[in-house]
Amino acid sequence: MPAKIILLLEDQFRDEEAVYPYYRFLEAGYEVVKVGPKKKVTYTGKFGMPMQSDMAAEDVDLEQVAAVIIPGGNAPDKMRINMAMVKLVKDAFEGCKVIAAICHGGWMLVEADIIRDKKVTGYIAIATDLKNAGGQYIDREVVVDDNIVTSRKPEDLPAFCRSTLEMIKLYFKR
């Protein structure tokens, strides 16, 4: 049973969209591994929260990973030009890991080309991007389609984390 959760980091992540899932998944008994473009680099949130990466994206072994969490803010715009970060999301999706993106995190789903014909949500400002990538945009606090969980904004974090945990249990029978 995979016991690790990957939390993607890059500068300007939305602080609460990284910190809330980090502690929620720790509380649920998972090891949360912070992954950025580089190992042991401190990335700073939009409001100043520092978080240090444990690993670089290119070094992740997905075998023990249950889910990949993508917080929003301006970080996904930076993440999506890093091919190792994009490849990690695409490989995790293709490996039937749970992919959970909130707010602007949907940009990584677009870049990884994994939302074609999927129901998704995200921050309203990226709705057109999600649609142009072939997704069916739905304005709800959380949308689940197969192994993809999406939410719109920080106020949706409780539903986002709850749904992600439910999907992990469903996919991995934990």
Q: Tell me the C-alpha distance between 36 and 34, whole Å.
A: 7
Sequence-separated (6 or more) residues with CB below 8 Å from residue 49? 15, 18, 19
What SS3 class is residue 147? coil
Residue 43, C-beta contacts closer than 8 angstroms, at least 6 positions apart: 9, 10, 11, 13, 36, 50, 51, 52, 53, 75
> Tokens 């959380």 appear where?
142
Known catalytic residues are 104
The burial of 23, by beta-carbon neighbours within 10 Å (0-12 exposed, 13-18 middle, 19 or more buried), is given as: exposed
